Amino acid sequence: MNADVILQVEGRAGRIRLDRPKAIHALDTGMCAAMLGALAAWRDDPAVEIVLIDHAEGRGFCAGGDIRMIATSGAGDGSQARDFFRTEYRLNHALFTYAKPIVAFMDGITMGGGVGISQPARYRVATENTRFAMPETGIGLFPDAGGGWYLARLPGKIGEYLALTGHRLDGAECLALGLATHYLPAEALDEAKTRIAADPAAVETILAELSAPASEPRIAAHRADIDRLFAADTVEGVFVALDADGGEWAAAQRATLRAKSPQSMKVSLRLVREGRARTSFAEEMAQEYAIGSRVAQSHDFIEGVRALIVDKDNAPAWNPATPEAVSDAAVDAIFAPLLADQQWEP
């Protein structure tokens, strides 16, 4: 058992409830391992017909992974960071390939690793509280936990836009983009969970009955801008497009990108572009594990965590300091396959 995740069978549902409120339910290795164990136990249990994933107390569904631990490990030999990524990505893959239906309730902050455990679910419920993002370029990381797969499958260049800027989407935007399958008022979630646990076969009817109309997705107003300004093959090209636009929205995006790790932006852009061509989720996770193993020990990640999470001075000294200074060879090295005995597998 793990004190930070509540695992129980309620009615005919397996319940996974994240319970680490002081860290906005950020995932650590033990939590991921406990969830993997529960999924394995429920796979062939006829008493469990559906799996529900949510959070217990506190704000937010899941803020991501245990970034401090990963950075501390990365500053050393990186072994704990690699153990975490290996276990977390196995959890992501187990959820993605699970035979029984899964319902994820993305109520509140759903970022990074929270995206990784909600997006594989067949039913993904957003609310008025949902704040969905892959903000990793701001701390020298990249959109992992399957982010390269999910962002690559969004319409137009929205995947590139979200990966580079870390922009936060609300629940209505998640519904419009297909990141959520349903939009429910937060006050209806308890009823939804109770009814689904009692009658899993009626899950679609229950979610439809409790759904509410979502507001007009704000991102729709910028769809044409996003598709035009984030279409370049390189990060440098994106900056050129933003500079040439001259508009207020483009200027705001440029300012946002200037604060991000140049290396992370290059890695993230390539991950999304290559993700479109991948045919299996396992292949995606193996690539992300190779990247994560290296980035966890990189200067920019350790510096990003220092600046934004530890010291909170919000003044990371990125190295290299500009996209132009990040060589193709450096990015190639981050994406290179690991040695056979070090590779990730489901």
Q: Which pTM value belongs to this model?
A: 0.96
C-alpha distances out from residue 114 to 54, 61, 92, 143, 161, Å: 10, 7, 10, 11, 19
Which candidate in 108, 113, 138, 275 is catalytic?
Answer: 113
The answer to whether 65 is a known catalytic residue is yes
Q: What is the full per-residue pLDDT of the chain (346 aa) written as tens digits? A: 678 999 999 999 999 999 998 989 999 999 999 999 999 999 999 999 999 999 998 789 999 998 889 999 988 999 999 999 999 999 999 999 999 999 999 999 999 999 999 999 999 999 999 999 999 999 999 999 999 999 999 999 999 999 999 999 999 999 999 999 999 999 999 999 999 999 999 999 999 999 999 999 999 999 999 999 999 999 999 999 999 998 999 999 999 999 999 999 999 999 999 999 999 999 999 999 999 999 999 999 999 999 998 999 999 999 999 999 999 999 999 999 999 999 999 9
Which phi and psi (to 5°) does residue 299 adopt? -55, -45
**Which one, of 162, 164, 183, 165, lies nearest residue 174 by Cα?**
183
Active site residue 113: yes
Active-site residue among 4, 107, 136, 173?
136
Q: Which two tokens stand for residue 225?
A: 């801008």
* Active site (annotated) includes residue 136: yes
| Domains, the chain, with CATH or none | 1-346 (3.90.226.10)
> Which residue in the list 60, 64, 65, 304 is annotated as catalytic?
65
- Taking a C-beta distance cutoff of 8 angstroms, is the pair 93, 105 a contact? no
How does pLDDT run across 51-65, given as a tens digit for each residue?
A: 999 999 878 999 999
Strands of 5-10's sheet in order across: 5-10, 13-18, 50-55, 102-106, 123-126, 182-183
Contact 43, 98 (CB under 8 A): yes
**pLDDT tens by residue, 92-108:** 999 999 999 999 999 99
Using CA atoms, how far residue 17 sits from 14, 29, 62, 120, 159, in Å, is 10, 16, 10, 16, 29
Inter-residue contact 282 to 346 (CB < 8 Å): yes
Catalytic hit among 28, 144, 225, 303: 144
